[in-house]
Amino acid sequence: MSKLRFGWGEVSLVPEGKKINLAGQFYERITDEVRDPIAVTALAVEGEDIAIFCSCDLESTSYTLLCAARDILKNEKNFPYYNKVIVNAIHSHTSISYSNYSDAYGSTLSVLDKYIPEGVGYEEFASADSGDLLDGEAAFDFIAHKIADAAVLAYEDLKAGKYAPGFGRAAVGMCRRVCYDDGSAKMWGDTNFANFTELEGGNDSGIEMLFITDENEKLTGVVANLACPAQTLEHRSIISADFWGDVKKNLRAKFGADVHLLPLCSPAGDQCPRDMIRWVEPETPINDPNIIRENVPYRRADPSMFDIKGCIRAARRITDEILYAYEDIEAYISDAEFVHKVIALDMPVRRVTIEEKDRALEAIKTFFANHKGTLTFKDSAAMHVHAGTVTRYEVQQTVNTDEIEIHILKLGDVAFATCPYELFLDFGNRIRSRSKAAQTFLVQLC
């Protein structure tokens, strides 16, 4: 048991004077329109040990990006706790796309280059040649430096403080995998068919929370762990932290501009902010071949969860639960055992069978045999799974395991566990239900 210290840091991820290519989807979205600022928010916790959480308003993180940020901390900033930095993403599709240029496996879709017939090429985007565009490698370096800056700010802000655990429920995440009577399942599948049987999984409305205060119990920030990606605006061409940006704005309107929010995405690979049963169409068209519905019946339900109204509604639900939990705090804790373990694990790769590889190759060859003209983003989307299967088969010929880094933390009777994958909800349920902690925060894409 020791006295605890907490520190916050926040650094903008909006590049000045540059447009960015938004991550997510299969088509290019270039923009400099900022709906709400994206950022890296860092929380440093110090007791017997130290940890620095860096929550990024990004689509994903990678070990390559983490190593780059740690190199900057170690070599440029002489920061001694570089290996105690934890980097996660909220899984927004309205943030910066960046290149993992040291990724040994390359791009999944690059496998298609071997099978593209002569004379067929990808559609070109005029905006991609723009001199004011932050390209992938520059974006990588930009983000890595911002993560390092936020971590240092949080460490320099360390001061005696307290925490209080909280819990709430908000209906935000719902299963997006639809099952049919032939045994198949499809992400974004149409439920308005007689062949529809069920959603593949459930949902978890729980929100794990920690309220961080100074010594006088004045709120300095909130940690919120939700099983849903930040993707109500995922098809829009705007820069945004999605519903987490609105939650932060709501909390600052209530508690002041110096209050921080550390959003953590719990396992939610099969989750989305949309009700697949009470389907509500987007207010304006979106470029996604998987979300095309015909003869959609009217449903009295949420506003469109593809649009700003839906984003605001989801944020309001989360904010309300945070405020209710804050009102229910009975005691603040200033002394607690704090342990932070960094563990390297060799994980076995998911192996593709020869039959699966042959089936994927046949699908690719059939596609190109019948394809005429330029390849579009819809073509990339159609071939993505097949290309991924072939790529995985090629990788497994020389790679048996993949080393990952996970973090396990104990703060009093609260536990944290991280994972780099985009796990489905049920994996998180298994982990959380077997945890011996009174409360367990699970952080994916970390």
Q: In whole angstroms, what is the distance from residue 224 CA to residue 221 CA?
A: 10
What pLDDT is attached to residue 288? 81
What pLDDT is attached to residue 127? 54
What pLDDT is attached to residue 200? 97
Look up the pTM and report it: 0.94
What pLDDT is attached to residue 103? 52
Are 254 and 224 within 8 A, CB to CB?
Answer: no
Tokens of 393: 């088969």
Residue 104 has pLDDT above 70, yes or no: no
- Taking CA atoms, 420 is separated from 89, 309, 442, in Å, by 10, 31, 11
pLDDT per residue over 263-276, tens digit each? 999 999 999 999 99
**35 vs 116, higher pLDDT:** 35
Q: In whole angstroms, what is the distance from residue 445 CA to residue 421 CA?
A: 5
pLDDT band at residue 197 using 50, 70 and 90 as cut-offs: very high
What pLDDT is attached to residue 76? 97
pLDDT per residue over 344-398, tens digit each? 999 998 899 999 999 999 999 999 888 878 888 778 778 888 988 998 898 899 9
pLDDT above 70 covers a percentage of the chain that reads 96
| DSSP-based three-state secondary structure for 195 | coil
Q: Residue written as tokens 């540059």?
A: 18
* End-to-end CA separation in angstroms for the chain: 27
Question: Considering Cα of 145, then 146, then 151, then 153, what sign does the dihedral take?
Answer: positive
**285 vs 228, higher pLDDT:** 228
Residue 124 has pLDDT above 90, yes or no: no
What pLDDT is attached to residue 20? 94
Q: Which of 1-5, 178-182, 275-279 has the lowest mean pLDDT?
A: 1-5
